[in-house]
Amino acid sequence: MSPASLTPIPFNRPHIADNQLDYLSVSVREGFTSGDGPFTRRATRLLRELTGAPHAMLTTSCTHALEMSALLLGLRPGDEVITPSFAFVSSASAFALRGAVPVFLDCRPDTLNIDEHRIEAAITGRTRAIVVLHYAGVACEMEVIGKIAERYGLAVVEDNAHGFGGSYRGRPLGSFGGMATLSFHATKNVQCGEGGALLVADPAVAERAEIIREKGTDRSRYFRGQVDKYRWLDIGSSYLLSDVLAAQLTAQLESFGRIQARRHAVWDAYHEGLADWAAEHGVSQPVVPEGCGHPAHLYYLLLPDLANRQGLITHLAGAGVQAAFHYQPLHAAPAGRRYGRTAPDGCPVTENIADRLVRLPLFADLDEGAVARVVEAVTGYVVR
Ligand SMILES: *Cc1c(COP(=O)(O)O)cnc(C)c1O
C-alpha cells in the first residue's frame, strides 16, 4: 500500500465518552444551560474525588482559572511571578494581566520542567509566587519547590493542565500548590471542548474564589439559600462553565479510567517501540523520574537539532502521520519581552529543546494498528 492510500493519523482527536451525547441532550432538553447547574455539581464532585482537592470550581478555561489565581493572590503592578519560559502563554499572561511581571526561568534538560535549582537566584523583594507546569504530566520537584516557597513566603500555583491524574511521591498533582488549575480543552486527556477548573486548598481562599468567579458577587451563596439577595462584594469576572459543557465533562470524568488506560497503552507502545531507534539515532525519549506517576498526556521526542526535528515532521507527514512541535520560549516572545523579564541566567536549555522537540499523535481512540504505523514511520526516519 502506498502511504497516500492510508487514512491520515491526526495529532489529536477528542474522545467521545460513553453517555456524553446523552448527558448533552439531557442538559439541553431540561433547559439548565447556564453555569452551576446539576451537571456542574456532578462534575465537581467527581473532580474532587479524582484529585483529592478540598475545593474545586469549574471554569470556562484553564487560562481563566489562572487569571482567578492572579486575582486571589492580590497581585499588584510590579509584583513578580517566577514562571517557566517553556510553557503555554497563559501561565505568564494571566499574571501580566494584573500588572505583575513574569520572571522567566529555564527548564531542566531531562523533564523539561522548571529548574528548581535556579529559582532562588531569581527571587527578589517583589517576588510573590512561583508558577509550575508539570510538563507532559511529569511532576516538577515539588518537595524542593515547596521548601523554597515556604522559606521566602511565596505562593505556589500549579498549572496542572497536563497533569490531571498524575502524581508525585504518591500524592496527586494539583495538591501541592495553594492553587492549581486544570484544562478541559479539546486537546487534553479529559475534554469538553473548552473548559477548566480551579482547585483550592484553603477554605477562605475558596470562599473568595467563589465570589470572583461570579462577577464579584455572592450569587453562589444566594443560589444555595444562604443569603436572601446577592450583592457586589469584590472584583471578579464571569468564569462559570456552561452546564451544557459540564454535562459532557461529567461523562468524560466517569470514563476517566478507560480513557487513561487507553492513553497509557499508546504511550507505552511508543516508548518501547521507539527505544532502539532513539538510542541508535541520538534521539531522547521522555524521562520520568522515580516517584512520578505520569498521566500519558503527551509523547515527545528530542531530535539532535532543528533540521532533524523539521525533517522528522515532514517525513511523518509523508506517511500520513501528523506530528507537532510545541512551546516557543516565552522569554523570547514579543509579549514576553514586553511584559516579562528573563532570570539572570537566561534560558539556554529552553531555547535549545524548544527547537528539537516533536510530539506524536496521542489520543484514547488511537488503535493498535495506527500506533504501529506511527512507530514504523518514525523508525523509518534516518537522522542526518
Ligand atoms: C492547554 C493549556 C493551558 C490553557 O488551557 P485553556 O483551557 O485552553 O485555557 C494552559 N496551560 C497549559 C500548560 C496547557 O497545556
Q: Name the grid cell of 19.
A: 453517555
How far is residue 366's CA from residue 361's CA, in Å, rounded to a whole number?
8
Average pLDDT estimate for 243-253: 98
As a whole number, the mean pLDDT across the chain is 97
Asked if the structure places residue 141 within a domain, the reply is yes
pLDDT score of 6 = 77
What domain range is 357 assigned to? 256-379
CATH number at residue 39: 3.40.640.10
| CB under 8 A, 24+ apart: contacts of 258-261 | 258/364, 259/15, 259/17, 259/189, 259/190, 259/364, 260/165, 260/189, 260/295, 260/296
CATH number at residue 286: 3.90.1150.10
Average pLDDT estimate for 48-62: 96
Average pLDDT estimate for 48-70: 97
Asked if the structure places residue 43 within a domain, the reply is yes
CA of 300 to the centre of ligand 1 (A): 18
Query: Both 184 and 314 in a single domain?
Result: no
Is it the case that residue 41 has pLDDT exceeding 80?
yes
Cα–Cα distance list, 194 to 63, 261, 346 (Å): 10, 23, 34
Domain-ending residue, one of 254, 270, 297: 254
Average pLDDT estimate for 166-182: 96
pLDDT score of 222 = 93
Average pLDDT estimate for 107-130: 98
Average pLDDT estimate for 232-261: 98
Asked if the structure places residue 216 within a domain, the reply is yes
pLDDT score of 75 = 97
How far is residue 144's CA from residue 345's CA, in Å, rounded to a whole number?
19
Query: Both 330 and 241 in a single domain?
Result: no
Pocket test for ligand 1, best of 183, 184, 362 (most atoms within 8 A of CB): 183
For residue 80, the cross-strand partners are 101, 127
CA of 379 to the centre of ligand 1 (A): 31
Is it the case that residue 3 has pLDDT exceeding 60?
no
Query: Both 67 and 99 in a single domain?
Result: yes
The per-residue pLDDT for range 117-128, each reduced to its tens digit, is 999 999 999 999
Asked if the structure places residue 8 within a domain, the reply is no
Q: Which atom of ligand 1 is nearest to the CA of 65?
A: 9
CA of 161 to the centre of ligand 1 (A): 5
Of 220, 187, 118, the residue nearest 361 (C-alpha): 187
pLDDT score of 256 = 98
The per-residue pLDDT for range 303-322, each reduced to its tens digit, is 999 999 999 999 999 999 99
The per-residue pLDDT for range 185-236, each reduced to its tens digit, is 999 999 999 999 999 999 999 999 999 999 999 999 999 999 999 999 999 9
How far is residue 265's CA from residue 259's CA, in Å, rounded to a whole number?
10
Query: Both 160 and 178 in a single domain?
Result: yes
CA of 75 to the centre of ligand 1 (A): 21
CA of 137 to the centre of ligand 1 (A): 13
Average pLDDT estimate for 328-348: 97
Q: Which atom of ligand 1 is nearest to the CA of 61?
A: 7
CA of 256 to the centre of ligand 1 (A): 19
* Domains in the chain, number: 2
Using CB distances shorter than 6 Å, the residues near ligand 1 are: 61-63, 88, 90-91, 133, 159, 161-162, 183, 185, 196
Pocket test for ligand 1, best of 58, 62, 162 (most atoms within 8 A of CB): 62
Average pLDDT estimate for 255-279: 98
Pocket test for ligand 1, best of 12, 58, 68, 90 (most atoms within 8 A of CB): 90
- DSSP H helices in the chain: 20-30, 38-51, 62-72, 90-96, 119-122, 142-152, 203-213, 219-223, 243-254, 256-273, 275-281, 306-318, 334-339, 348-356, 368-379
Percent of the chain topping pLDDT 90? 98
- Calculate ∠ Cα 207-226-243, nearest 5°: 70
How far is residue 247's CA from residue 29's CA, in Å, rounded to a whole number?
12
Average pLDDT estimate for 95-110: 98
Domain-ending residue, one of 230, 254, 278: 254
- Answer whether 0.85 is exceeded by the pTM: yes
Query: Both 214 and 181 in a single domain?
Result: yes
Instruction: Take atom 5 of ligand 1 and give the residue whose Cα is closest.
Output: 62
Domain-ending residue, one of 254, 288, 312: 254
CA of 146 to the centre of ligand 1 (A): 23
Query: Both 154 and 179 in a single domain?
Result: yes
